[in-house]
A and B are shown apart, each in its own frame.
Chain A
Amino acid sequence: MAAPALAPANADLDFLLAEIAESLQLTSDQFSLAVQHYRAVADWLGAPESRLAPFKPWIYPQGSMALETTVRPRSREEYDLDLVCQTLPTGMRALQVYEVLHERLRANKTYAPMLERKNRCVRLNYAHNFHLDIIPAEPDPASGSTAILVPDRALRSWMASNPKGYVAWFTQRSQVTLAELRKKVDPLPRPTPSDEKPTLTIAVQLMKRRRDMLCGEDDGPRSIVLTTLAGECYRGTDCVLTAMRQVVSGIQQRIAAALPGRITLCNPTNHAEKFCESFAEGGRYESFRWFIDQFERDLARIAACIGIPELQTALSETFGDEPVTKAVRSYGEVLKARRDRNALEFSGAGAGGLAIVTPVRGVTRVAPPHRYFGGEGDS
């Protein structure tokens, strides 16, 4: 499939998309609660009487909270925080390390009834639609740097991973640098306001949201798959709509090139960790291909809209009514605020225009303050 013609750079549309993404992030209450639980677990695991204490457990987030690509689950689905509990080499076998972690959590009367064993992590199920997945890990001596080994219960052995490396890779792909993490307990990045968020991050949030709208939990592409493919196919544009269209086009090319087989996808910082394993589950790859094609149609529709009512309809049908209505409302508020502050620039060149978000070309002037009149006004 040929690369799509790029939509004209339109900062007003990007503003709406960024606002939609921001309103889909975890709420600050949800975020604060996650931080609270994270700190409490880290304290318990690192306490002097913990069997892990001699191995200096280092707890850090991975997944969407570390990447700042959180998307609130729809209706009653749960949200989660993925934590890595990395220790110095213990000399224990993979499954022993898993059991030591499980045992330490079970020794806490509050955590004991919340525990659930998963293939690689120990899960703590909290009451309010939230769970914490804690993955035990040790450094990977063969790969060095931030690469780790995590126990896999089904395979009864260590598996390669590199979540810190992944975060660094994704961040570099979005051309933003993270500050050095110094503490033993890494602080969760605070959710970034939309006007500071990198384009790639917003694009990933919106893709995940569309995936949530279209697919069930067990048949859509996994978030790590979407995030990695997006990072690999992104070509560095500032425009959110263009970024998403580039990513979709890139994925379609890779799918076509892999036929009749499936695409392969690894952690870019640790090729032993294969993210494409999930495609082997029945129907999942076909569902992924369908999702990508549908998302391409969604984006083409959005790019072709003329006028705010048509655009609102297309955006709502793609991402949901609530975040889109909020975004359009924000746009109106930006206009009003500029007018009231005597800061609304305009130009009469060409078809003229107001600089609500996108700057206007030609000689610009500032519109004097005014109020509408007539009919059913209300201030």
Chain B
Amino acid sequence: MMAVWPSLDSKIECGLLVVTGVVQPSAITRPYRVRLTYREFGYPKVYVLSPKLVRRAQEPTKPIPHTYDDSTAGQERPCVYCPYGREWTPVRPLATSIMPWLLSWLVDYEIWLATGEWLGGGVSHRSTKTPDGDRGQQEL
């Protein structure tokens, strides 16, 4: 992680990897302070710390697309990969998969905020629990 993203702060505490820092997804987006967490045998999770993810002012009841915990404004976190496929497995380095996927998600998020359209594609899971379910909540 540190080799690929040298300006992000990476540390391991009690078996939990936490990576925090500022990223600028593209030349025309805002910079974002983000966090990635990963516990061995778990699923990596990503969070957008600031600026906080927001819903569209024009449609305040519509949740942000492709987020976990999207029913509560202010609690959303991005879903950047499909956990039931083989897109991410523990042998894939987080630095070269989850991180750029998060940046891509942030660009699509800004475009969605601006236009109301989500252009990044993706898969819906309205009725399914998040991976890790309650475990994910406890780790926070």
Contact = CB atoms under 8 A, between A and B. Distances in A.
Interface string B105-124: 10110110111011111111
Nearest to B108: A332
- Which of under 10, 10 to 19, 20 to 34, or 35 or more describes the interface residues of A? 35 or more
B63 A375 contact: yes
Given A309-B113, A332-B117, A356-B26, A348 B6 contact: yes
Nearest to A349: B6
B134 interface: no
Interface in B77-103: 78-83, 85, 87-88, 92, 95-97, 99-101, 103
Given A11-B27, A308-B114, A352-B23, A375 B124 contact: yes
Given A375-B79, A377-B125, A332 B111 contact: yes
- Which of under 10, 10 to 19, 20 to 34, or 35 or more describes the interface residues of B? 35 or more
B85 A375 contact: no
B66 A377 contact: yes
Interface stretch (A95-103, A152-160, A176-184, A364-372): A364-372
B50 interface: no
Contacts of B27: 10-13, 353, 356-358
A365 B4 contact: yes
Interface in A61-89: none
B122 A308 contact: no
B127 to A, nearest CB: 11
Interface string A303-346: 00111110111000000000001001101110110011000101
A2 B4 CA distance: 42
A354 interface: yes
A354 B65 contact: no
Contact of B104 (A351, A354, A363): A354
A127 to B, nearest CB: 36
Given A352-B5, A374-B68, A374-B79, A331 B124 contact: no
A344 to B, nearest CB: 7
B122 A348 contact: no
B97 A372 contact: no
Contact of B28 (A10, A329, A346): A10
A186 B6 CA distance: 59
Nearest to A315: B114
B29 interface: yes
Contact of A308 (B67, B78, B111, B130): B111
A28 interface: no
A376 B63 CA distance: 8
Contact of B125 (A309, A357, A374): A374
Given A371-B85, A375-B63, A348 B120 contact: no
B125 to A, nearest CB: 6
Contact of B123 (A312, A328, A335, A371): A371
Contact of B81 (A308, A348, A371): A371
Interface string B15-57: 0000000111111111100000000000000000000000000
B4 A332 contact: no
B136 to A, nearest CB: 12
A378 B111 contact: no
A16 interface: yes
A377 B117 contact: no
B87 A375 contact: no
A307 B101 CA distance: 18
Nearest to B71: A375
Given A351-B7, A354-B107, A367-B97, A375 B65 contact: yes
Contacts of B135: none
A372 B120 contact: yes
A352 B120 contact: no
A307 B29 contact: yes
Nearest to B109: A308
B83 A328 contact: no
A105 B78 CA distance: 67
B124 A377 contact: yes
A329 B119 contact: yes
A13 B27 CA distance: 8
Nearest to B30: A307
A370 B115 contact: no
A36 interface: no
Contacts of B79: 372-375
A350 interface: yes
A110 interface: no
The 8 closest A-B pairs by CB, nearest first: A372-B122, A332-B119, A374-B79, A348-B5, A367-B100, A377-B124, A372-B66, A308-B110
19 contacts: A312-B115, A329-B119, A332-B108, A332-B117, A335-B104, A335-B107, A346-B103, A348-B7, A349-B6, A353-B25, A354-B25, A368-B97, A372-B105, A373-B79, A373-B80, A374-B70, A375-B63, A377-B118, A377-B125
